[in-house]
Amino acid sequence: MSELTIADIRTRAVIAPLRRPIRTASGAIEASPLLLLDVITEQGITGSAYLFAYTPLMLKPLHALVGQLLPLLRGQAVVPLARQQQLEQQFRLLGLQGLLGMVVSTLDMALWDALGKAANQPVVRLLGGEPRPVRAYDSWGLVDPARDAAALADSVEQGFRGIKIKLGGADLAHDLGTVREVRRIVGEDIALMVDYNQSLQPGEAIRRMHALEPFALEWVEEPVAAEDLQGHARVRAQTRLPVQTGENWWFPRDAERALSVQACDRMMPDLMKIGGITGWLSVMGLARAASMPVSSHLFIEASAHVLAVTPTCDWLEFMDFGSPVLQTPSRIQQGCVIAQGPGLGIVWDEAAVARYVVD
């Protein structure tokens, strides 16, 4: 097939149900506000990806922003790196972060999906790899061990090799009681991660992490504000539990800044913020040079492709925001997820989209 050329970009806003609400120290996510993005090419190939808007309030401005970018991209070749460089140059003074960074990253994923579909290959093969099992953990919000005990045990029965819960909604005594009970429920052989969602100051983070040491946690995620790299470095230097961060880094330079101050033991870039697949490839090179384990944040479908070619691949986060609107959602197979194709394996379930679409 000849080189693909962008003809149009379509977006649709949906609010999809979640298999369980996500409760955090900063609030609850009861449903999943998604912007479905399709890059339509002159050759008849459509590349798709979705954007997680965090709140329905952002769906309309995100839709409008894509419409403003369309004239810049129409008629351009489907070359992900070139298109990202084009938009980076266009918005040099503004910078690629916030809503603009989310859109640019999602466009990148859709362009890669189009290339994969045109070649009738999964994206992981275009990246030089092949579909392979990537171990996954089930990602929870704040939990009540008494109320959620059966569901937590079911996560283990499904084959998940790790469980992540969120903390920070109460005091240290509550954290300790929660972790103690969850560890009892899931057993010693299951990796247990905790996520504070940026809710602590460095001193308090150090105090709580010292107290959590007996529970053999896989990591403690974002104990302090994501942008507080010095705070993360201080926590890391004064505690023994591994510090995980990265989901709020914007594009590869944020990853480089964090690594330069030794802010973390592990990283988990978010494809929607790190620059999509193109941005991920840069960051995984930084991680390889630093021998830094890399996990994913959200976006199961695309993450299964990039993690499969990441030299320091660690864990895939299983939080299936997109599953309700996909024809073939990602599934757990013996505790792992395997990349689907062609492209990213993203094909909309149009009946479900019509059910959940919003103006």
Q: Which residues are catalytic?
A: 166, 297
Q: For residues 251 and 110, what is the distance between their CA atoms, to the nearest angstrom?
A: 17
Asked whether the beta carbons of 141 and 21 are under 8 A apart, the reply is yes
Q: How many residues does the chain have?
A: 359
Do 105 and 273 form a contact (C-beta atoms < 8 A)?
yes
- Residues 33, 23: Cα–Cα separation, whole Å: 15
Q: Who contacts 264 (Cβ-Cβ below 8 Å, separation ≥6)? A: 232, 236, 243, 244, 245, 246, 258, 292
- Grouping H, G, I as helix, E, B as strand and the rest as coil, residue 64 is helix
Task: Say if strands 336-337 and 134-142 run parallel, antiparallel, or are unpaired.
Answer: antiparallel
Q: Which of 299, 295, 289, 290 is nearest to 320 (CA)?
A: 299
Is-contact 26 54, C-beta < 8 A? Answer: no
Distance CA 157, CA 133 (A): 18
∠ CA 6-60-109, rounded to 5°: 35
Q: How many CB atoms lie within 10 A of CB 354?
A: 12
**Which residues of 80-186 form beta strands (DSSP E)?**
134-142, 162-166
Taking the C-alpha atoms of residue 108 and residue 101, their distance in angstroms, rounded to an integer, is: 11
